[in-house]
Amino acid sequence: MTTRSLLWRRRRDSVARFWRRFRTHRAGLYGLGALALIALVALGAPLLVGGDVQSVTNAPGTALESPSARFPLGTDQFGRSLLGLLVWGARVSLAVGLLAAALSVAIGTLVGILAGHYGGWFSTIVMRITDWFLVMPSLVLAIVLATVMSRSMWTVILAIGITSWPTTARLVRAQTIAVESRPYIERATALGGGHGHIMSRHVLPNVMPLVLSQTTLCISTAILTEATLAFLGLGDPTVVSWGGMLQDAREAGAVSSGHWWYLAPPGIAIAVVALAFTLCGRAIESVLNPRLGAGR
Amino acid sequence: MVTMAPHRSLRLLLASAIASGIAATSLTAGHPAQADEGDKAVLTVAVSQSVDSLSPFLAQRLVSTSIHRLTYEYLTNYDVKDARPIPGLATAWKASPDKLTWTYTIRTNSTWSDGKKATAEDAAWTFNKMMTDDNAATANGSYTANFEKVTAPDPRTLVIKLKKPQATMTALDVPIVPKHIWETVGDFSKFNNDKQFPIVGNGPFIITDYRVDQYVRLKPNKTFWRGAPKFDELVLRYYKDGDAAVAALRKGEVSFVPNLTPAQAASLKSAEDIKVNDAPGRRFYALATNPGARSKDGKKFGNGHPALLDPAVRKALFLAVDRKTIVDKVFQGHAVEGEGYIPPRFASYFWKPQGAQKLAHDPARAERMLDEAGYRKNSGGKRVGKDGRPLDFRILCHATDPNDKAVGKYLQEWWGKLGIGLKVECLDNVSDPWLKGDYDLAFDGWSVNPDPDYVLSIHTCAALPATPKDTGATDNFICDKRYDELYAKQAVEYDPAKRAQLVKQLQSRLYDTGYMNVMAYPNAVEAYRTDHIRSITTMPQAAGNLWGQDGYWSWWSAQPAASGDDQDSGSSAGLLIGAGSAAALLLAAGIAFAVRRRSTADDRE
């Protein structure tokens, strides 16, 4: 048996062990189920509703129809099917949520590991910058960023990513310091391991579980922030997203004219996705973090 | 440009309306209803546009100029039926045979609210101030630019000498201020007339109090020469969110709400004690094309797409715009299809393109036109100019105007089919790129006065900025020799029929340039409570608007409903809160759940 196959078996085992433990968290399973369903809908949207659902010139209905057999959730002010838009909007909301969370965690991990590894004045400076971002109200900062940059999906992703990384950075730095105090790191250094080797081969794999659970938790925040920014009219107005739908509903005067079916579905969808990610994240966290015990 | 321009104000109104919706809702929620304190009949109007200044020398926004209409007399007013000039502070006027000297007779029965008589001396001082102090000419300087000398030989006579004839002499929209108050003002660029209340005026109302973005209070002027208004108080109350204002109207917290969306209008139509006024507006809604921004000194600036300098491209773009769909879908019937520059409501000046001149909706012709002009489609289906640059345009859109965004979606699809790309750039502040000329296309709109001189003047070469750094009165950097010649001709034409003919020729020329393509004339859609207001006069009387009139007719004529039904005070934000609560509840449940999990985990530590 080669070392490679050994390594793979060990990884398979640990994944299986992870799954066995994850399975015991019922709430986590519900979250995962909901996520799988939503992801399926989002990926299958081109087949389910087609890209044409966004088109205003080919809109099938009349403005602000109430729910009917043809339009289960009614129509928007252009006569587009709201169910179709809701399905289509899942793509943007999820994509932005995932990418922004990934960006945020990537920045946080990089900063955290560097600060934890090098320590000293470097760490002090980096952590003061982190603190500065931490105390800044992130929504305000995100609004400022989204305002000064051009209106596009990437701007929103960037705005969320740049404003939400400090928590991750702090967590990862603490974990890095904990990992680096272990004797085997000292041995690796003694054997000639450089900074890069230590950070990428020893520290990173050890902070990975933390990063993973942090990402899952980050996503729900990112989705909520995306919806908030879109609702405040800072998203790309030509892209259909859940937050953007809420904004459209408000602009159409759907609130005061009682068209609740325009407002409720995107709102509920945002809440459900955020909840699902939170449930999953919590479950992953308690599986991976032994200090939280079996957790149920 | 867009934000500061006078009378382009509906746009702005909308802009500020939505800008801080949530803040306003929470703000208004805290205030209990103000109407009917005791037996006072209070008329509350929901407004959203911020006051730029209460100084008549600086105010340019619709809300501010409307307030000035109510609080100061102008030399002439507009008739409520047909908007012809009628006596205001002046009872009569006549021009000398050489058309260069105008003599106005000032009325004897107009008194300032501090008891002093309003005289020709006040009017002469106002005009002289605007002529000698550039800071006092900020808002209405265009009216006095051609004045040579203004004198008041006696308290009842005002004489204005002109450099050359001026057709707007019976439509001078300049509030006349009391000399004895304003003499002491130092810097007119800084004085906002909002420190000492009540503000001395001689209009039907007197401003008694004002707080930025909260309210403007006015009381009736009991000595107003045309008769005192019937309501005991007029309050302009701020609702930055349209939905909150409508909720307040339903509750009876406000008596009048302007600028309704089609959905709001539809739902209010069936509401009890509420009347929806849907009438032809005085505004046009257009697609402006950057003609290559330049200044008077000949310098070019900005980064407008060069392909737009080709008339064929501009024509093709407009040929692909289906105005009927915009009226039907975006305005949902609350608008009239666009034709010429001036809305049909001003019948004597209204012009529409006929026959071959008209660019009717015809995408096939647009395709042909682009093909002939050498903009061929490449393998990707994109049209490319001879220089290899694809036809990818940007359009400036007001982030706070839902109509801009909606029309932007349609344009993207219509022009997309032609092989032309469009990026909708929605900004809160479109003025910056606009003034710098950094745009290809833009959504544009102005409220038109009964005398069209102003909206026509903003397309002349004279309105261009002096240098690229300056701000000119220009709307869209249009500078066309033929247009300027016609404009100069109409400006000195005193015969109404002949002038109307010239104004129509002007519009025809503007239409042919393809720089200003009018898509629609939006209606004024507004609602008021019939249990607060028994009767109110629209302008024009037959079918007209109430908010933003060219006179004080609506609020001056409003009669309180007899009963003075009391309204319950409640949270105007209730509806909004209610609607969001479902989502919020679910979210809260999720958080609570998560927190609970965390706490149990912590407990086990």
B85: domain CATH number is: 3.90.76.10
Measured between beta carbons, which residues in chain A are less than 8 angstroms from residue B329?
56, 59, 63, 78-79
The pLDDT assigned to B54 comes to 93
Q: Is the pLDDT of residue B601 over 50?
A: no
Question: Same structural domain for residues B320 and B340?
Answer: yes
pLDDT in tens, B88-120: 999 999 999 988 999 999 999 999 999 999 999
Neighbouring-strand partners of residue B426: B397
Q: Is the pLDDT of residue B12 over 50?
A: no
Cβ <8 Å between B605 and A258: no
Q: Is the pLDDT of residue A290 over 80?
A: no
Interval B275-303 mean pLDDT: 91
B414: domain CATH number is: 3.10.105.10
Tokens 């715009």 locate to B321
Minimal Cβ distance to A256: which of B243, B425, B590: B243
Within a domain: B588: no
Q: Is the pLDDT of residue B21 over 70?
A: no
Cβ <8 Å between A268 and B408: no
For residue A75, the SS3 value is strand
* Torsion sign, CA atoms B278, B280, B284, B286: positive
Interface contact B333, partner A, CB < 8 A: no
CB A78 within 8 A of CB B409: yes
Interval B146-154 mean pLDDT: 93
Q: Name the residue with higher pLDDT: A274 or B3.
A: A274
Cβ <8 Å between B263 and A295: no
Burial A135-151 (b: 16+ CB within 10 A, else e): eeebbebbbebbbeeeb
Within a domain: B234: yes
* Torsion sign, CA atoms A268, A270, A276, A278: negative
Interface contact B242, partner A, CB < 8 A: yes
From B183, B218, B234, the end of a domain falls on B183
Give B130-157 as a DSSP string. HHH-GGGGTTTHHHHTTEEEEEEEETTE
Q: Is the pLDDT of residue A229 over 70?
A: yes
**Above pLDDT 90, what percent of chain B?**
58
Question: Same structural domain for residues B452 and B315?
Answer: yes
B222: domain CATH number is: 3.40.190.10
Cis bond upstream, residue A290 (ω within 30): no
Tokens 């203004």 locate to B150
Closest alpha carbon within chain A to B267: A257
pLDDT in tens, A189-227: 999 989 999 998 889 988 888 888 888 889 988 999 998
Residue B583 binned pLDDT confidence (cut-offs 50, 70, 90): low
Measured between beta carbons, which residues in chain B are less than 8 angstroms from residue A63?
262-263, 329, 332
Q: Is the pLDDT of residue B19 over 80?
A: no
Question: Same structural domain for residues B431 and B302?
Answer: yes
The pLDDT assigned to B597 comes to 46
Give B200-223 as a DSSP string. P--SSEEEEEEETTTEEEEEE-TT
pLDDT in tens, B503-513: 999 999 999 99
Q: Which residues, other chains included, contact A160 with Cβ-Cβ below 8 Å and sequence gap of 6+?
A: A96, A100, A103, A104, A142, A222, A225, A226, A229
Q: What is the rounded average pLDDT for all residues in chain A? A: 88
In the stretch 225-244 of chain A, residues with CB closer than 8 A to chain B read 233, 237-238
CB B567 within 8 A of CB B272: no
For residue A204, the SS3 value is helix
Cα distances (angstroms) measured from residue B270 to each of A119, B262, B333:
70, 13, 18
From B522, B551, B582, the end of a domain falls on B522
Interval A248-254 mean pLDDT: 86
Q: Is the pLDDT of residue B26 over 80?
A: no
pLDDT in tens, B334-351: 999 999 999 998 989 999
Tokens 């179709």 locate to A84
Interface contact B291, partner A, CB < 8 A: no
Measured between beta carbons, which residues in chain B are less than 8 angstroms from residue A57?
325, 410, 413-414
Minimal Cβ distance to B587: which of A78, A255, A274: A274
Question: Same structural domain for residues B351 and B477?
Answer: yes
The pLDDT assigned to B569 comes to 40
Cβ <8 Å between B263 and A291: no
Residue B28 binned pLDDT confidence (cut-offs 50, 70, 90): very low
pLDDT in tens, A74-95: 898 888 999 999 999 999 889 9
Question: Same structural domain for residues B267 and B291?
Answer: no
Q: What is the rounded average pLDDT for all residues in chain B? A: 85
Question: Same structural domain for residues B332 and B275?
Answer: no
Give B234-303 as a DSSP string. EEEEE-SSHHHHHHHHHHTS-SEE-S--HHHHHHHHTSTTEEEEEE--SEEEEEEE----B-TTS-B-S-
Measured between beta carbons, which residues in chain A are less than 8 angstroms from residue B576?
255
The pLDDT assigned to B33 comes to 42
Count the Cβ atoms, other than its own, within 10 Å of residue B43. Answer: 26
pLDDT in tens, A146-185: 878 877 888 889 999 988 899 999 999 999 999 999 999 9
Min Cα–Cα distance to chain B from A182, Å: 23
Token pair recorded at residue B10: 């509906």
The pLDDT assigned to B573 comes to 44
Interval B441-465 mean pLDDT: 90
Min Cα–Cα distance to chain B from A86, Å: 15
The pLDDT assigned to B38 comes to 59
For residue A226, the SS3 value is helix
Can you give the C-alpha Rg of chain A in angstroms?
Answer: 23
pLDDT in tens, B49-86: 888 889 999 888 888 999 999 999 999 999 998 888 99
Question: Same structural domain for residues B419 and B293?
Answer: yes
The pLDDT assigned to B580 comes to 53
The pLDDT assigned to A169 comes to 94
Question: Same structural domain for residues B538 and B427?
Answer: no
Cβ <8 Å between B21 and A260: no
Domain range enclosing B230:
7-53+203-280+524-572
Residue B588 binned pLDDT confidence (cut-offs 50, 70, 90): low
Interval B238-265 mean pLDDT: 91
Cα distance from N-terminal residue to C-terminal residue, chain A: 39
Minimal Cβ distance to B579: which of A63, A150, A263: A263
Interface contact A34, partner B, CB < 8 A: no
**Above pLDDT 70, what percent of chain B?**
87
The pLDDT assigned to B175 comes to 94
pLDDT in tens, B561-579: 875 444 444 444 444 444 4
Does the domain formed by A23-44+80-292 have CATH 1.10.287.4070?
no
B597, B600, B603, best to mutate vs chain A, most A CBs in 10 Å? B597
Tokens 């849907």 locate to B278
Question: Same structural domain for residues B317 and B209?
Answer: no
Cis bond upstream, residue B220 (ω within 30): no
Cα distance from N-terminal residue to C-terminal residue, chain B: 63
Question: Same structural domain for residues B258 and B372?
Answer: no
Count the Cβ atoms, other than its own, within 10 Å of residue B99. Answer: 16
Residue B4 binned pLDDT confidence (cut-offs 50, 70, 90): very low
Interval B307-327 mean pLDDT: 93
The pLDDT assigned to A109 comes to 94
Interface contact B580, partner A, CB < 8 A: yes
Closest alpha carbon within chain A to B329: A78
Residue A1 binned pLDDT confidence (cut-offs 50, 70, 90): low
Residue B525 binned pLDDT confidence (cut-offs 50, 70, 90): very high
Q: Is the pLDDT of residue B411 over 90?
A: yes
Count the Cβ atoms, other than its own, within 10 Å of residue A154. Answer: 12
Question: Same structural domain for residues B518 and B545?
Answer: no
Token pair recorded at residue B185: 């003002």
Within a domain: B188: no
Q: Is the pLDDT of residue B40 over 60?
A: yes
Interface contact B325, partner A, CB < 8 A: yes
The CA distance from A49 to A240, in Å, is: 13
CB A240 within 8 A of CB A88: yes
When mean pLDDT is compared across A276-285, B36-45, B523-532, the lowest value belongs to B36-45
Closest alpha carbon within chain B to A62: B329
The pLDDT assigned to B224 comes to 94
Q: Is the pLDDT of residue B140 over 70?
A: yes
The CA distance from B475 to B458, in Å, is: 5
- How high is the ipTM of this complex? 0.82
Within a domain: B589: no
* Torsion sign, CA atoms B247, B581, A64, B397: positive
> How many beta-carbon pairs under 8 angstroms link A with B?
136
The pLDDT assigned to A274 comes to 92
Into how many domains does chain B fold? 3
Residue B11 binned pLDDT confidence (cut-offs 50, 70, 90): very low
Question: Residue B207: left if φ>0, alpha if ψ -120 to 50, beta else—which one?
Answer: beta
Question: Same structural domain for residues B355 and B449?
Answer: yes
Say how many CA atoms lie within 13 Å of B468 toward its Cβ: 13
The pLDDT assigned to B469 comes to 83
Which of these, B140, B139, B134, B89, lies nearest to B111 by C-alpha position?
A: B89
The pLDDT assigned to B514 comes to 92
The pLDDT assigned to B584 comes to 54
Can you give the C-alpha Rg of chain B in angstroms?
Answer: 26
